[in-house]
Amino acid sequence: MDAFILIGSFVLLMVLGVPIAFSLGLAALLGALWIDIPLDAVMIQIAAGVNKFSLLAIPFFVLAGAIMAEGGMARRLVAFASVLVGFVRGGLSLVNILASTFFGAISGSSVADTASVGTVLIPEMERKGYPRPFATAVTISGSVQAILIPPSHNAVLYSLAAGGSVSIAALFMAGVLPGLLMGLTLAVLCLYKANRHGYPKGEVIPLRQALKMSMEALWGLMTMVIILGGILSGVFTANESASIAVLWAFFVTMFIYRDYRWRDLPKLVHRTVKTVTIVMILIGFAAAFGYIMTLMQIPMRVTAFLTGISDNKYVILALINLLLLALGTLMDMSPLILILTPILLPVVKLLGVDPVHFGMIMMVNLGIGLITPPVGTVLFVGSAISRLKIGVVTRAMAPFFVALFVVLMMVTYLPWLSLWLPRTLGL
């Protein structure tokens, strides 16, 4: 009955149209009243939930990504990707995937990736003879890489939801190989479709122009070196690397590229503050919700239920994948990480699954949810940019869903994909 009151009230509030963050907070209050816990304890948990030093990385990474996204970085990354792969048949689709890889390593956001890369490449691909639904599907599916490739905001949230027991640096490194695998899988699919349907072949860019494009993009690509190099060398922490990334992004955008107007900078900061505020409210209320769940022993009950079905970890992981895929189509990624990690992590740890590996499993599952109707945030952004109906884009994405599912199976059942790099680097 306890679980029904807590989770039932949360679901009911969402059905009534209450925002997810406030649904979590109100459900936590109702749960506290039901089990006779002082409401002061809930307020303390909300405050403690956002009073974490590691959370400082989120606003800095969001701001760095926003500066780069609006300061001309997306256009230069697309040009650089064209130099590398644009000359083959179907080359613009490969440019799209590779540009998403580069931009994801700077923004850490699938929504920002789709908006920035899609605005440049969807019209260009259509102009070159690619079907608009295909161009949109490539852009949307390629943006899922941003969830895995560091710096991923969601990796920070997962570390927080795991009680800080999982290193952010280890999660960053764990996402590199799965993210590259995803990009490679999508690229192979694009090559297959390009040859089957006779999509146009790109032109070789002259050497002098190629060198100029590469040098312009290099300034932005240095952001990846600053973030990852600094963390791995021990020169600075994830929080410090995020703040330095902001300074570098500001310097490159305002003094090197000089495409962004100074008078627009306060508006950009204002939008970033609004985004971060929403995230922090969500984190605080999710902390209170998780506290009530713990008092009601819901994680222990779920663990007992799943291990009662089977003691085979591969079967349990398959069931968890199905659960995450289903919930990912109905809710956004951040609240699901904050809600489900305290519930599912004890289950997989009992079965011997490494928490870092499980973090990557969650990221891929919920990343697919971001591009799946009915509540696919990235799907909506891509559809808005291309001015296509959701149904048209979803049909075009069918083969890409298959490719992403293959990646999910490999990440789930080949743990070395996630663990080899962190262990090699001693994280």
pLDDT digits (tens, 9 = 90+) for 353-369: 999 999 999 999 999 98
pLDDT at 235 over 80: no
Residue pair 81/102 in contact by the 8 Å Cβ criterion: yes
Residues 6 or more apart whose Cβ sits within 8 Å of residue 3: 296, 298, 301
Determine what percent of the chain is predicted with pLDDT higher than 70.
Answer: 100
Whole-angstrom CA distances from 405 to 126, 155, 171, 183, 402 are 27, 20, 21, 13, 5
Q: What is the pLDDT of residues 281-337, one digit of tens each?
A: 888 888 888 888 888 877 777 877 887 888 888 999 999 999 899 888 877 788 889
Number of domains in the chain: 1
* SS3 state of residue 89: strand
**No. of helices (H) and no. of strands (E), the chain:** 24, 0
How big is the CA angle at 149 (ends 124 and 158), to the nearest 5 degrees? Answer: 130
Q: Rounded to 5 degrees, what angle do the CA atoms 248, 249, 255 make?
A: 85
Say yes or no to pLDDT of 11 above 90: no
In terms of residue numbers, what domain contains 347? 2-424
User: Given a cut of 80, is residue 234 above it in pLDDT?
Assistant: no
24-28, 49-53, 278-282 — which one is most confidently predicted on average? 24-28
CA distances from 367 to 69, 199, 284, 326, 327 (A): 20, 28, 23, 12, 11
For 366-409, the pLDDT digits (tens) are 999 889 887 788 888 888 888 888 889 999 999 999 999 999 99
